[in-house]
A and B are shown apart, each in its own frame.
Chain A
Amino acid sequence: MRKQRRFSFARENTQGRKMAKQLTEQMEPEIGVKIDDRYCSRCVICSSICPFEAISRDKETGEINLDIEKCQVCGICFSACPVSAIETLYYNVNSLISYVEKSMRKTGFNRLVLTCRGTSPLQRKTMDELKKSGVVDFISLRLPCVGRVPPEFLLKALALGIEKIVVIPCEEDYCRFEKGSMIGTRRFLLTQALLSQLGFSSDTLTVIRSLIKANINVYRCIGCGDCAYACPYDAIKIVAPGIAQINPDKCSGCGLCAAVCPVLAIELEGFEYESISQSISNYSSLIPEMKSKGKTPVILVFCCQWSEFPTLDKNQSLVKENVMLLELPCSARVDPLHILEAFRLGFDGVLVAACEKSECKLEEGNEKAEERISSLKKLLAQVNLENKLEICFTSPKYIGELDRHIKSFIQKISSIPETPHGGESEK
């Protein structure tokens, strides 16, 4: 058996956490995917399947090499490797299984729903479909891409007593990792065939396609055209004076339009303006407690889903003492209003975590976010808060990179004197 690393996926995995801490303290950043040459049979399947051409075969030695600069840690190679020579520190079979096991024990549910981040939070349409097929109480397992799930995991989950598995990948053309959805779905279909041969009923494993999209409230729209100009997918058109229309076939759900709309007429499914505001105000209710414990500065991190993997899937509140994480589908959705709201509610600092420059999974969302943040800083300078807002670029391929950014940000704002800009006002 190959040595499996248990990483901090499950909540109780303290060992993994310790390791993560050790790793973050190391000077050399740990890489999220590794090819173990001892087990590699040099079949080149990983190299041919990699959507980013990050894996290559050395012509002379035949060795398989991973170019971490190109790699985006989608994990498709990991699930495709026939000899399990590729190690991934996130979502390996053991950690996934132990997560399912624990959730089963805790909740008693025996239905498993695998969702891709591009499709979750679940749309109402998808929820209806789930209900129709009788899946109401389920264990939810969220992954950056369903293409990283090997069939081994599905079979193991069934062996644990899971009765029904529903997989919700993104629609193929919109896969954030180019081929992940396609490869994943094909693999599920093959597993389906295998299961039916083994005597399982045909609905043991089902696939529902979905993708979060932007919706426009035409009654609010003023037809200014800001969204149509901003949309990187050319999905929005001004169809009549004062009415913008979103073409759902072109929309990829980055949420940039929602963040630029001057009248808040556009909402992104699952990441509505009000629901994000609500989460911020929920988080802010913890601030006095943190401050009374002396845990300052309290910061809020707007985190792009694709810039950090394991922390966002812990299925627990994303509050780590004085650092609170708020997940967004892309840094493009970072709304200046939400940042202002956070400051008004008393956060000492706001950090926006976006993907590295060339790695935005949605057209240049990170660059757009950077532009907006720099213009917001000009406004914030009028209330002396410009140094308390920062954008950082991070990638899930180096373990703990976000943590390092958070740490240095906290260090930076600790040196700036606190200002009474926000918090509960006495009435």
Chain B
Amino acid sequence: MIVTKEKPLEEILGFLTPYKKILVVGCDGCTTPPRGLREAKTYSTLVEMSGKLNNKNFECKATTVAKQCDNHDCATTLTPQIENVDAILSLACGVGVQTLVEVFPEIPIYPGQDTIFLGSQDRDNANMYEKCISCGDCILDETGGICPRTRCPKGLLNGPCAGHMDGKCEVDREKDCAWVLIYRRMKDTGQLDKFRAFRKPRNYQISTSPQQIVWK
């Protein structure tokens, strides 16, 4: 899922100051931690309170959309609610914010989150880990299901480099070396021949931004 991090309230307040009536829009989609109605209400309350501390009366309303990256969804859910709204604070990922911008070109839309990465969730340790950079050229079949492009800071396709020590990465000694993980995984599953094979350099041409696909 798409991992996001809350922006500091100060920053949010910075761009909301010129407005009065604010609609805080959560997203029930893949943003993690979930930024649904609870988060929207939390932020609307916090914005109102910090407004009062700064002699400013915000009027916030909280709502949520099933998927903020879906323009049809946004239009149908939010259109009845945007009357008299001066600005929208979106709690979705960057995609959600931009979708809203397209759906409501006349209203200023601001992000309440920093979108960080595509990651997996480890509930017991309350951690999120980046696992995919959506490069558009998946090689997980060759690397035992562990992505070196994402998890090796150098993005090596033929690793490991000489910097690994005790299975840890030289860039960050706290983190596992992706190539050591790949080696172990391939060994356990009897695919060491694949590990030894040479992997050709990545074709960057296929992932030139912005990308677009025909969906239907």
A and B interact physically: yes
Residues on A close to B: CB < 8 A? 222, 224, 226, 229, 261-264, 336-337, 340-341, 343-344, 379, 382-385, 419-423, 425-427
User: Known contacts A229-B123, A262-B33, A344-B48: does B38 contact A383 (CB below 8 Å)?
Assistant: no
Query: In the complex, A337 Cα to B143 Cα: how many Å?
Result: 45
Does the CB pair B34–A263 fall under 8 Å? yes
Taking CB atoms, residues of chain A closer than 8 Å to B42 are 336-337, 340, 379
Closest to B34 in A: A262
**Surface stretch bound by A, among B49-57, B82-90, B154-162, B176-184:** B49-57
Task: List the B residue with the shortest CB-CB distance to A419.
Answer: B53
Return chain A residues, CB-CB under 8 Å to B37. Answer: 262-264
B98 close to A (CB within 8 Å): no
Residues on B with beta carbons closer than 8 Å to the beta carbon of A427 = 57
- Which has the most chain B C-beta neighbours within 10 Å: A262, A263, A379, A425? A262
The reply to whether A420 and B52 contact each other, CB–CB distance below 8 Å, is yes
Q: Is B151 positioned at the interface, with any CB of A under 8 Å from its CB? A: no
Interface centre among B35, B48, B59 (most CB of A within 10 A): B48
Contact yes or no, A222 B34, CB < 8 A: yes
Residues of B within 8 A of A (CB): 8-10, 28-29, 33-39, 41-42, 45-46, 48-50, 52-53, 57, 59, 64, 66, 123
A263 close to B38 (CB less than 8 A):
yes
Q: A263-B28, A421-B52 are in contact. Are A379 and B46 (CB under 8 A)?
A: yes
Contact assessment for B49 and A262 in the assembled complex, using a CB-CB cutoff below 8 Å: no
The majority secondary structure among interface residues of chain A is loop
Across the interface, A420 reaches (CB within 8 A) one of B33, B38, B53, namely B53
Subset of 26 A-B contacts with CB under 8 Å? A222-B29, A224-B34, A224-B36, A226-B34, A229-B123, A262-B36, A262-B38, A262-B39, A263-B28, A264-B37, A336-B42, A337-B41, A337-B45, A340-B46, A382-B9, A383-B9, A383-B49, A383-B53, A385-B49, A421-B52, A421-B53, A422-B49, A425-B52, A425-B57, A426-B57, A427-B57
Which residues of B have CB within 8 Å of A336? 42
**Residues of chain A contacted by B9 (CB below 8 angstroms):** 382-383
Known: A382-B50, A423-B52. 15 other contacts (CB 8 A): A222-B66, A229-B123, A263-B36, A264-B37, A337-B42, A340-B45, A340-B46, A341-B45, A344-B45, A379-B42, A383-B9, A422-B52, A425-B57, A425-B59, A426-B57
Partner of B38, one of A264, A379, A422, A423: A264
Give complex CA distance A310, B9 in Å. 41
Chain A's closest residue to B47 (CB) is A383
How distant is the Cα of A423 from the Cα of B52 in the complex, in angstroms? Answer: 9
Complex alpha-carbon distance, A416 and B81, angstroms: 39
